[in-house]
Structures are given as C-alpha cells and as structure tokens.
Amino acid sequence: MTTPLPYRVVERQAETPDTATIVLEPVGTPLQPFAPGQFAMVYAFGTGDVPLSVSGLDGHRLTHTVRAVGAVSGKLNGLRPGETVGVRGPFGTGWDLPAAAGLDLLVVAGGIGLAPLRPVVRAALTGSGRNGRLNVLIGVRTPADLLYAAEVRDWQAAGKAAVTVDRPDAQWQGEVGVVTSLLVRAEFDPREAAAFLCGPEPMIRATARDLVRRGVDPDRIRVSLERTMHCGTGHCGHCQLGPLLLCRDGPVVSWTRARPLLAVREL
C-alpha cells in the first residue's frame, strides 16, 4: 500500500521519558495484515512520515513504539487518543516464526530493539509459534530504559526472560553487563535452535558470533537491520546496505546474508 490510510490513536502508554507506545485502529478500510518484524510508514500530518516496526498486533489494530528523536517521531510520540495519522504498509520482511517451529528459540534485544521482537515473544508464550524452550534476553542502558516493564516482569516470573543493564541505579538488583553475558544461562540445544536478534549493530554482531561459535546454524539466526528509510518501497535508495534495500529485502535477514555486509566498515 503506497497511499496512506487514516488510523486513529486509541491508546497511548508512556514507556520511558522519551518513548511511548501507541495503538492505532483503522478509521475506514484497514491495511493488509502485518507479520511480526514488518514495518509501516506512519505519517504525522503536516510533518512527515517515518518507518515504525509493529510492536503489537491485534486484529486490524497496529501497535507501534516510538522514540522521540526528531520532528516526526517527536510528534508521533506525543499523540493522544482521538488524534489521526496516516499509515502505509505492510513493508519489508518478517521474522518468519513458523520456520522456527519445534526449535528452541532465543530472542535477543538491545534497547528499543525489543519493540519488533515483542510480537514474537507473545506468540511463543501463547503457543501459537509451537516452539521449544524460549529464552528472551534483554539489554538496556539503565533500568529506566526498559520497555514494557510490567510485561517483562511477567516473562521473568515465568522463567522465560532475563534482563541486564549497562548502568544500574541504586534500586537495581539484577544483572549488570552486556546482553551477551546472559547467553550462559540460556537453555537451548544449539543444533535445534533459532535466534532472532534486534538492537545496535555491535550487539547483533557479538551475539550472532557467539551463537555460531556455540553451534547455532547461521541460517537459523535472523537479524533486523536498520538504515535510513524514506520511501518504504525500494525506490529512493536511502536504505541501501550493499546489494540490499532494507525496506524491500529486509529489515529481517539471515545472519548468513548479513554477516559479510556488516563486516564492511561504514557500509
């Protein structure tokens, strides 16, 4: 879909001082169904549009988690229920959770990278993904930067998630360090495991290398990559990463495909 359709904000939840989650429902005709890992181009009227991954799917409703880093994302972050935006999509590739059916699943997120992985975790927890053991490993800068804090606590209580921070505060009693340090506690069979990674590229590279060293097939490691996207349709070229246009060929690709590209400095 290249023409924006109107969607109305029906819920807004502040996550951190600069990040909020908004739930949108169609005003009229809905867009085609999205898959976890895909993204929409969300238009703030009078300002512009930005790509936003889906952080929740409920029928025709779309959930997006927005960090205010510029004019458009700042306006979307500040929307209130009743206000309207334009939405195009779905765009890009998804996580392909069905391909991981029957396998142990590792979901590794850094910072706001948890947003596009949240639908995967929800599907795995409800059993709709038909996976083996689930390990959700989350790394954030500080405890205040953790998204979906109440939901993550539920995942931890169920023994499915672990969280580490770079800089603890006085109240933090959990792990401190990089997210790869959590891999030692994850329960999975490397020969029968799939991994989904999203976050800063140094985190993705370090985690993927560690998983491959442990015996996970690089074709079963899928990563979500980020470059500046303007059109969402593969025409403008702003999101080019070597031979890939990430709005069309990504953002989710296998580690086999991503590894040689991320090894090229400043590509």
Give SS3 for 176: strand
Q: Check pLDDT > 70 for residue 129.
A: no
Q: Check pLDDT > 80 for residue 128.
A: no
- Supply the pTM of this predicted model: 0.94
CA-closest candidate to residue 223, choices 139, 116, 121: 116
Q: Please report the sign of the dihedral spanned by the C-alpha atoms of residue 19, residue 53, residue 74, residue 227.
A: positive
What average pLDDT does the chain have?
94
According to the model, what pLDDT value does residue 1 have? 55
- pLDDT digits 0-9 by tens, 221-256: 999 998 888 788 888 888 898 898 888 989 999 999
Range in 1-10, 167-176, 188-197, 251-260 with the lowest mean pLDDT: 1-10
- Residues sharing a CB contact under 8 Å with residue 18, sequence separation 6 or more, in sequence order: 67, 68, 69, 77
Give SS3 for 231: coil
Cα–Cα distance for residue pair 115/170, rounded to 1 Å? 26
- pLDDT digits 0-9 by tens, 144-173: 999 999 999 999 999 999 999 999 999 999
Cα–Cα distance for residue pair 250/266, rounded to 1 Å? 18
